[in-house]
Each structure stands twice: as C-alpha cells, then as structure tokens.
Structure 1
C-alpha cells in the first residue's frame, strides 16, 4: 500500500507534533512505494504546518588545513592521512544558496534544498536546511564555529526529532549532547567567502550512538508509516538524558573500534584548543 500526504498528516496529528519544528533523519526507501516520492513526505509535513529541519552536509567544500590550524586530539591521528587525500584540492567556496549535498544525506534533504523558500545555514561542511514558519529562527545563527545552532534553536522552540527508517547512529543531536557534556567539537577546514582557509566545527563518529537507544527508550515514541519504522523524540528530553548519560559514562558514545581516532579523542574531551 502506498503512503500518501494524508497518511503522513494523520500520523503527525496522532503524535501531537503537527505545527511543530521537526528535525528529520530519513531513508526514503524505508517506506516502500510512495506516489510522488520524497515530495509527498515533505508536503505531508508542510500541510500540517510543521517546519522541517534536515542535515544537508557537503564534504565537497572541505580543504587541507595549514599547520597552524591543526590542533591535537582532533580525531585525525597525526594528520598523515591528509597527504593521501587528493579529494581536498578543489577549494570550492560554499554559499547557502548552493544545492550541493552529500549523496548520503538522502532524497528528502535533496528535495528540500530544491524548494523555493528553504533556508540553508552558513556552514560549508555541516549545514542544516529548514523550510516552514520557523525556518529563520532555526537557521539564522548557524556559523562555521556554531555548527549546531539549528539544533539548539529547535530545542528552544520545543521541537521534535524523527528517525524515519534509520537508526540512532543517525541522530545528530547526540553530537550537541556531547558538546553540552563538555566535549569540544572537532575542527575541519573550508574556504570562507574570501578564499581563506578557516576552521569549522563538526561532529565525530556516530556509530556508537546506537548504545543510547535503550537509555532514550522512555522518551521515544514508535510508529510505523507504510513500511518505515519511526522513532520520535522530544528534543529537550532527548538532550537532557543524553548529556547525563555521556557525563556518567563517556564510553557510551564510543563505536567500539579501538582504532577509531574520532571516538578515542572524543572520549578524552575532543580537540585541545588554544
């Protein structure tokens, strides 16, 4: 059975998240067949006056760092991996008007980027994009060194996060919880509007976030839409529980691979910044 806009709308009303700002992490294929594809999902939310917030990350804008922008404990090991990475030499300059997005983001973020009234954040590597009545409030403060401003804003607005057919390792808000727990965010590099290399904040490895699923279960609502299994969480409750869990057990976010520089350095507190 195909999923329609009205199906989406009914679920949002039943969940009590219509007219709210909602951060969505999604797999379109998890739904099975949908007439109209990603546009149907997006319009289903907009019809119920939700403001949609989605990650629209774009690694194509990353560049090599000069030596003075290479902090220690930065999830990079000794930085020797940079010498073998030829993909960082394009030196593209990012603009929020760009529709460039990593293929891993999926069809729904790509669809939202094409919409006329969408607003995209000012972060060359880890931008968020929003559409709806709260879009300006969500996006306006994102900056290279304030990557999770949209997530802070959705918490202030009493919003929700929906995992559509994806697991908790896609829950970017846990990176904000890491920061709230006292960790410094990792630094990567891009060009500013003048073509100068700058530091930007980014998250780290998220594979270990699945371990927080049980901790977050008391504030998680589950629903099935078509074939897609959704996990729906109140952002403020989710952040508070995750922050406390990380403070009490820093290893809870670790992916389990002892070779993972990002997890090893995150557990230590992240990059050592001047």
Structure 2
C-alpha cells in the first residue's frame, strides 16, 4: 500500500497570522469566522494553530466568534441526511440530551469552531441548535440573550455582531455558509415554522417546540456572488485557502434587498 505524502502548502501559526494580517484583519476588531481546515493545506499544530493565529492577529482587544451549531438536536421527522425510520422518532425525541453550552459538541461547522468552543475563556450562546462561541472582551455581549425562538435573528448573536460592526471572514468557506444572510430572512416576509429540540428548563430536561422564522441557505451562493459584485470584498490566500473578508452589516443589507426578488419564499425548517 502506497501512503501519499501530505499536500501543501505548509502552514504554521506564524505564517497564517502573517497571511491574515496581509488580508486586512485589524487588531481589536470583532470577527465572525466560517472556516475549512482542509482548505488551508498542511497545518502544523492543526486547528489549534489556526485559532491561535486568528487570536494573534486580533490581539487582546479583539473578539473571535464562530458558529457552534448542533443541528442534530432537532425533530427527527425532518432529518434527510440520512433519514431515520418513523418508528424511531418518538424514542429519539425522548432520549436526545438537553443542550448544554459547556459540553454539547458542535456539528457540521468544522473542527476549527469545535476547537474554539473549548478554548480557555470561551463563552457560548444558549440556543440548542444555532449557538455561537466567542473569545475576547466582547464575547459576553455577543453571546448573551440568545432566545430559544430566534435561531439567527434579532435576538441572536448575529444581531449583536451587527451592532459591534463585526466583519466576516470566509476562510476556505463559501458564501453558502455565511450565516449572516439568515439575519436578513428575519427582516423580510418569511414563513413561520414550528421548531423542536431538547432543552434544559426550570423543570429539567424537556422536548420543546417553539415558533420561529423559516430559514434556508438556498441560493446563498448566488446571493454571495451578487454581493461581491457590488461591494468591496477583500480577497486573498491564507495558506492554500481562498479567503474573503467583508463587513457583516453590508452583507445583511444586501441580502434584505436581494432575497425577496430572487428567492421569494424561504423553504427552510
């Protein structure tokens, strides 16, 4: 059996920080990062080196924020990747552990957010499905008050990031992963849905159902391409990763105008 050598480029904490500074990340700012570790190349030190490089670039006055979503804490009736037998649904609803901001692992957002989730001093918002984790002096203000009936809207960290004039870094990730676009869905005429999860309440663990706005990433890649044509987006390479940097406020405002015309109905759950 032939073992293939690793592919590059070789990335270190120092080289990544240098690339991030060259892209335009500023000390002291608030940064929401969507990321792909594999896109960077071979990273000496793994995801911890990436988190360290981001924190080095932001400095002690900066705040780093990542999505730490846990989509598996949801109604199994809506699962498609893969689906589970209907006969299991009640059992899953009864047995799904309640969300715990300290211990519930993130899912589907990559290993870099999972690394930041357990970083010393990290704080995490309390939504069972769409939490965010943050490190830095603005962390508490960003993650506090995440309402159970507002996954990614006005009472979520996304709105607090907007208030903080945060910028978004797509680090080897595409516009289809840009969660800030979802904030726009709460500001247009979007359908309402029932959303279920296991949460800890004053009466202990409960399977809870709340009303919320329908969300979907459908056509976010097209939305991002449109945004990039009309707004300044810093582009460059961090390691081997194609990277974009832009203000969250601009992205949300563009999405508010674009979505009703190009995606009249949201089909999310």
Report SS of the residue matched to 1:266.
coil
Residue 199 to residue 233, structure 1, CA distance change in 2 (3 Å): farther
Supply the RMSD in Å over aligned alpha carbons: 2.7
TM-score, normalisation: structure 1: 0.79
Which whole-Å deviations, capped at 9, do the CAs of 1:173-197 have from their partners, x for residues lacking one?
1111111223256432113322233
Contact 2:16–2:239, Cα closer than 8 Å, also in 1: no
1:160 equivalenced with 2:163 (yes/no): no
Output aligned runs, 1:115-134, within 5 Å. 115-134=119-138
Determine the C-alpha separation between the residues in 2 that align with 1:99 and 1:124.
9
When the two structures are aligned, how many residues end up with a matched partner? Answer: 243
Partner of 2:249: 236
Which whole-Å deviations, capped at 9, do the CAs of 1:7-62 have from their partners, x for residues lacking one?
33334434143321111111100001111111111111112323121111113332
Determine the C-alpha separation between the residues in 2 that align with 1:240 and 1:34.
35
Contact 1:60–1:92, Cα closer than 8 Å, also in 2: no
TM-score, normalisation: structure 2: 0.80
Q: 1:51 aligns with which of 52, 63, 74?
A: 63
Partner of 1:196: 206
Deviation at 1:64, TM superposition (A): 6.2
Contact 1:219–1:237, Cα closer than 8 Å, also in 2: no
Contact 1:138–1:154, Cα closer than 8 Å, also in 2: yes
Name the structure where helix makes up a greater proportion of residues: 1
Determine the C-alpha separation between the residues in 1 that align with 2:15 and 2:240.
12
Partner of 1:213: 224
Residue 90 to residue 28, structure 1, CA distance change in 2 (3 Å): same
Determine the C-alpha separation between the residues in 2 that align with 1:64 and 1:207.
21
Which whole-Å deviations, capped at 9, do the CAs of 1:125-183 have from their partners, x for residues lacking one?
11111111111011002121232311111111111111111211111111111112232
Contact 1:45–1:51, Cα closer than 8 Å, also in 2: no
Deviation at 1:2, TM superposition (A): 2.0
Unaligned runs of 5+ residues in structure 2 are: 1-8
Determine the C-alpha separation between the residues in 2 that align with 1:167 and 1:185.
27
Q: 2:50 aligns with which of 41, 54, 67?
A: 41
Contact 1:151–1:173, Cα closer than 8 Å, also in 2: yes
